[in-house]
Amino acid sequence: MDPVAPPSRRRRWRLVRALVITALLVTIGPLLALELGYQVEIARIPERPPDPPPSLPPLVVRSLGVQLFDTPDPRMTPIYPWTPFIGLARFYLGARPHLIPEELAARQVMRSAGRPQPPTKLQRLIEVAALATWISRHLSAREAISVALSQAHFAPDVVGIAAAARRFFDKSLEELDAGEIAALIAGSAGPSMYPDRPERLRAPRDALLRKLHDHGLIDEPTMQAAMERDVRRFK
Average pLDDT, the chain: 85
pTM assigned to the model: 0.81
Is the pLDDT confidence value at 162 over 90? yes
Q: Which DSSP letter does residue 57 get?
A: -
Q: Give the per-residue pLDDT at 133.
A: 94
Q: Give the per-residue pLDDT at 235.
A: 43
How many Å separate Cα 220 from the centre of its chain? Answer: 30
Is residue 171 within a helix (H) or strand (E), and if so which, with residue range?
Answer: none
Ranges 76-90, 173-187, 221-235: which has the least confidence:
76-90
List every span in the chain annotated with CATH 1.10.3810.10.
152-235
Q: Which DSSP letter does residue 120 get?
A: S
Is the pLDDT confidence value at 189 over 80? no
Half-sphere exposure of 215 (CA within 13 A, CB side): 20
Half-sphere exposure of 20 (CA within 13 A, CB side): 6
Q: Give the per-residue pLDDT at 150.
A: 94
Our CA angle for 93, 33, 86, nearest 5°, is 15
CATH topology of domain 152-235: Penicillin binding protein transpeptidase fold (1.10.3810)
Interval 108-140: pLDDT, tens: 999 888 888 888 988 999 999 999 999 999 999
Query: Is the model more confident about 23 or about 124?
Result: 124
Interval 73-94: pLDDT, tens: 998 889 888 776 666 566 566 6
First to last CA, the chain: 100
Strand partners, 158: 155
| Long-range contacts, 46-50 (Cβ 8 Å, 24+) | 46/113, 46/115, 47/109, 47/110, 47/113, 47/115, 47/131, 48/109, 48/131, 48/134, 49/105, 49/109, 49/135, 49/139, 49/143, 49/144, 49/147, 49/151, 50/147, 50/150
Asked whether the beta carbons of 143 and 208 are under 8 A apart, the reply is: no
